[in-house]
Amino acid sequence: MLGNCDNHGYFRGDVCPICSRKGRFMMSDRELDSLGRIMAGVLRHFPEKLGVMVDGRGWVDISKFVDAVGGSRSGFHWLKTSHIEAIALTDTKGRYQVDGGMIRATYGHTIDVKLDDLPVADNECFYYPVTEEEIDLILEGGLTPVDRRQVHLSGSIDKALEAGRVRSEDPLIIRIDGKKAKEDGVMIYRAGFDVYVTDRIDAKYISKVDPSDIPSPEEKN
C-alpha cells in the first residue's frame, strides 16, 4: 500500500518504515500497480494516448496528468496530485523526478526527449549485460540504443546481472571505462538509483568482465 506519515512523509508498505505507525492510507497495492504502469507508459512511451503534453526534456504538468487519468480511466476519479507525487518520491528505482508541479521519467524513453540536465555521473566503471550472440559485435562496434532512445548502464555487476536476466538466464557482462570516457568528453548521466544513460559508448571503452567474476544465480541465493 501507499501511505503518508504525518512525521516522515510518503511511504510504501503497511507502516511507516521510520516510526512504524500506520499513517494515512493513500492507495492499495492494486491501485499502485495500475497507476504506476500508466505513469511509466505515458511519461516514457505514449503521452498522446491520454492527450498529455510532454516538453522537450520529458516534463509533464502533474495536475494535467491527474485530469487526464481521472477522466479516461475508470476507478481513478479520486486521483489528486499528491498521489502522483507520492508514487514518484517512493519509487524504489528512482525512476521519476518531481519539481515545481511537474513530473518526468528519468530513463526508459522511446519518445524523443533530451536528458542532458541530469546529474553527470562520476563512476570509474559502468556495466552492461549482453548475450553470447551479441558480445563480439559490441566489443567491435560499441554500444548503441536498441529499443530506447539512450543506452542504459548499471553501476555494478549485480545490477547489470539483474537487468540482463530479464532476457537471458546467463548474461555476460561488459565493463565500460567511465573514467576514460569522461576524460574524452563522453557524457554519462545518473538517471536512477543505479541507472545511467548516455547516447552511445565507443568500443574503445568496453571490455569483457571475466565470467569467474560474475556470480551465478545459486551464489546469489
For residue range 50-79, list pLDDT tens digits in order.
999 999 999 999 999 999 998 888 889 999
CATH numbers and ranges of domains, the chain? 2-105 (1.10.10.970), 125-220 (3.20.170.30)
Q: How much is the pLDDT for 39?
A: 95
Compute φ and ψ for 178, nearest 5 degrees: -65, -35
* Residue 83 banded pLDDT, cuts 50, 70, 90: very high
Q: Is residue 211 over pLDDT 80?
A: no
Q: Which range has the worst mean pLDDT, 4-13, 54-63, 164-173, 208-217? A: 208-217
Kindly state the DSSP code that residue 143 receives in the 8-state scheme.
B
Q: List strand residue ranges (DSSP E) for the chain, in order.
A: 2-5, 9-12, 24-27, 60-61, 96-99, 102-105, 125-130, 151-154, 172-177, 189-190, 195-198, 206-208
Q: How much is the pLDDT for 218?
A: 57
For residue range 11-36, list pLDDT tens digits in order.
999 999 999 999 999 999 999 999 99
For residue range 34-50, list pLDDT tens digits in order.
999 999 999 999 999 99
Q: How much is the pLDDT for 73?
A: 83
Q: Is residue 219 over pLDDT 80?
A: no
Tracing cell 536512477 back to the chain, one arrives at 192
Q: How much is the pLDDT for 69?
A: 93
For residue range 89-123, list pLDDT tens digits in order.
999 999 999 999 999 999 999 999 999 999 999 99
For residue range 180-201, list pLDDT tens digits in order.
999 999 999 999 999 999 999 9
Strand 206-208 and strand 172-177: pairing? antiparallel
